[in-house]
Amino acid sequence: MSSDGKIVFVSSIFRDLVAVSPKFPKPGETILGSEFFMGFGGKGANQCVMAAKLGAQTTIVGKVGDDEHGEAYRKNLVKQGVDTIHLGTETGISSGIATIFVESNTGENMIVIAPGANGRLTSEDVIRAEDDIAKSKVVVSILEIGLDAVEMAFKLGRKHGVTTILNAAPARSSLPAELLENIDILIVNETEAELLSGLPSTDTKKCAFQLQKAGCKNIIITLGSKGALVVEGEKEPVKVECPALDSPVVDTTGAGDAFVGSLSFFLSSFSNISLGEAVRRSCAVASMTVLKKGTQASYPSREEVLHLL
């Protein structure tokens, strides 16, 4: 295992407000929930924490507001071992908030996000982190922040020969060609693949091939409990299965982020690992998270996944 598996996450940061109920409410309906709790979320920050818990050297580039949520989040990241030197605080604006509804009978979730300070992250903030990007193995970003920050992260990554990973979530119907050309690995779920490719997700291979034509050579389409489809360059597509679970699903919130964070860890820390093998191990880590409630609270520690390391 390499000792220099440094990863920079140009990230969104959200405080999770979670309500659990037996079913989702219909429009206009008020129902009685069974539980409420707060957690730490945001796709980019979740991915960063997952990689840190596995043992990666992680640096986050992001923004929080000057409120209690921002203060609590900064302390949480430091506790998780994340370098917060490029985590800014915006005055007069709230931190990002994610309101999450979890259906206790199935573990499925519905999420509404209010970006807050995430909308203030700019390309200039990313440029200030260039030295850390240049020293990293992998740069990861998402679409919960402005595209100018994402584009700059990958331009700098490409400039310094760093592997670039975009988790294209939340779903968008298109991405700039220049952005796609600077991405080494594009990760989408079935909904995102359908929207970006313009093709039905019933044929994930066609979706992946269409996304390759748009400019990105390596595509991973996550399939939830069914695993992931890996299309790597000109190689034959590979379907990677998730391991069977021996306990009921409790909460799927954050499982996709656990996958991305794990993948960035495996690719940054193991010099000879194949993309397919990294995906297999990442599916195994993500599968563990659905057996516990919460987002980052459900992520396993390094000690819990030693069999994968």
Q: Is residue 132 part of a domain?
A: yes
> C-alpha angle with apex 125: 254 to 121, nearest 5 degrees?
50
Is residue 35 one of the residues assigned to a domain? no
29 occurs within a structural domain:
no
Residue 247 lies in domain: 6-12+42-92+118-297
Classify residue 282: in a domain, yes or no: yes
Do the domain assignments include residue 203?
Answer: yes
Task: Measure the CA–CA gap between 285 and 53, rounded to whole angstroms.
Answer: 11
Domain presence at residue 23: no
% of residues, the chain, pLDDT over 70: 99
Domain count of the fold of the chain: 1
What residues contact 192, with CB distance under 8 A and at least 6 apart?
168, 169, 170, 171, 172
CATH of the domain at 252: 3.40.1190.20
pLDDT tens profile 79-101:
999 999 999 999 999 999 989 89
Active-site option among 16, 125, 251, 257: 257
* 148 part of the active site: no
In a domain, 37, yes or no: no
Model confidence pLDDT, tens digit, residues 146-175: 999 999 999 999 999 999 999 999 989 999
In a domain, residue 34? The reply is: no
Please report, as a single letter, which amino acid is at residue 158: R
The mean-pLDDT minimum among 84-93, 102-111, 188-197 falls in 102-111
pLDDT tops 80 at residue 219:
yes
* pLDDT at residue number 245: 84
Average pLDDT of the chain, as a whole number: 94
Other C-beta atoms closer than 10 Å to the C-beta of 274 total 15
What pLDDT, on the 0 to 100 scale, is given for residue 4?
A: 55
Q: How many other CB atoms are there within 10 angstroms of residue 301's CB atom? A: 10
pLDDT of 2 higher than 90: no
